[in-house]
Amino acid sequence: MKIASWNVNSLKVRLPQVLDWLEHEQPDVLALQETKITDEVFPAKAIEEAGYQVVFSGQKTYNGVAMIAKQTPDDVVTDIEGLDDPQRRILAATIDDIRVVNLYVVNGQAPGTEKFAYKLNWLQKVTDFLDQQLNDYQNVIVLGDFNIAPDDRDVHDPEKWHEKILCTTEERSALNRILDLGFQDSFRLLHDQGGYFSWWDYRMNKFSRGMGLRIDLILASDELSETLSAAYIDLEPRKNERPSDHTPVVAEFDW
DNA sequence: ATGGTGGTCATACCA
C-alpha cells in the first residue's frame, strides 16, 4: 500500500502534473489539498481515464480536498460533529480496509489573530473526530497539509521561525494531542535527521536555497505503523515548471 | 522593517 499526500495549490493548474505523477509513481492513494475547484467542474473524468477512482469536496477559489485511489473509497465523510464549517478541508473514506482521513489544516496567518483561534478550534474538533475514527476503525491514516512543523528538525531556520505561524508551541501541542491518540509520524519512524522539507515559499527562491518546512505529514495508527516499509518526500514535482509550493510526501506499508 | 511569488478573479484575499 503506497499512500501519498500533495497540496497542489489549484488542481486546475496542476492536473497535468498530477496525472504525470500518478502514471510514474502508481500510488494506491493520493490525497490532494487546495484543489480550489467546485465539485461541479472537478476533473473526475481525466483521473478515471488514468485508472483511478476519485472522491472530492471542493469550493470556489479556496481550500478543497480530494482523494484519488485504485480501490473504491467508501463511507465518505466531509463534515464532522461540532464543526459547522463552509470551508472544505476534510475528506475521510475507507479504502482497501484502511480508514483514510485527508486534512487541509487551517493556515492560521499569525499567532493572536482570529484565524489562529479558528485554527486551534478546528484542530480540537478534528482531534475529537480522529479519536472516534480510532474507535470505529481498526487501521487509520491521517494525512495532508498540517500547516504545522512538528519540531525544529522540520524547519530550515528554527531561530527565525521561533514561535512564528506553523511553528508555535500551541500548534505543536495540538499536533501532539493528535499523535497521543495513537498515531505515528511515518516519516520520523524512518528518518531522524533534520533538513527534509515538503513546502517552500514561492518567494525569494526558497526551494533552490533549501529553505523549507516539513508540514505535510502522513500519520499512521500504531498497529498499522508497524507495517511501514518506506517514507519519503519526492522533490521532483517541486522542480517542475509552474510547480505547487508543496511537493508530494509518500509512505509505503506492507499491506 | 519591508516585500518578495503565485492562484483566483478581475480586487483584494489567501497562503
- pLDDT at res. A209: 97
pLDDT of res. A149: 98
- Average pLDDT of A160-186? 98
Is residue A34 marked as binding?
yes
pLDDT for A73 = 98
Question: pLDDT value at position A135?
Answer: 98
Task: Answer yes or no: A156 catalytic.
Answer: no
Calculate mean pLDDT across residues A187-196.
Answer: 98
Is A191 an active-site residue? no
* Strand B closer than 7 A to residue A38 Cβ: no
- A192, A195, A196, A200: CA torsion to nearest 10: 150
Nearest 5°: phi and psi at A67? -135, 130
Determine the average pLDDT of the residues in A165-177: 98
Q: Give the pLDDT mean for A238-252.
A: 98
pLDDT tens for each residue of A192-214: 999 999 999 999 999 999 999 99
Report CA torsion sign: A173, A125, A75, A105.
negative
Q: What span, in angstroms and rounded, lies between the C-alpha atoms of A229 and A139?
A: 16
Q: Contact A196/A187 with Cβ under 8 angstroms?
A: yes
**What per-residue confidence (pLDDT) applies to A178?**
98
Average pLDDT, chain A: 98
Q: What was the pLDDT predicted at A46?
A: 98
Would the Cβ of A61 be found within 7 angstroms of any atom in strand B? yes
B chain positions with any atom within 7 Å of a protein CB: 3-9, 14-15
At A129-155, the pLDDT tens digits run 999 999 999 999 999 999 999 999 999
Is A246 annotated in a binding site? The answer is: yes
- What DSSP string describes A169-187? HHHHHHHHHHHTTTEEEHH
> pLDDT tens-digit profile of A70-126?
999 999 999 999 999 999 999 999 999 999 999 999 999 999 999 999 999 999 999
Please state, in angstroms and as integers, the Cα–Cα distance from residue A230 to each residue in A3, A4, A254, following that order.
Answer: 10, 12, 9
pLDDT of residue A187: 98
Q: Work out the pLDDT band at A189, boundaries 50, 70, 90.
A: very high
**CA A207 to C1' B1, whole Å:** 24
- pLDDT of amino acid A255: 87
Each residue of A12-44: pLDDT tens digit? 999 999 999 999 999 999 999 999 999 999 999
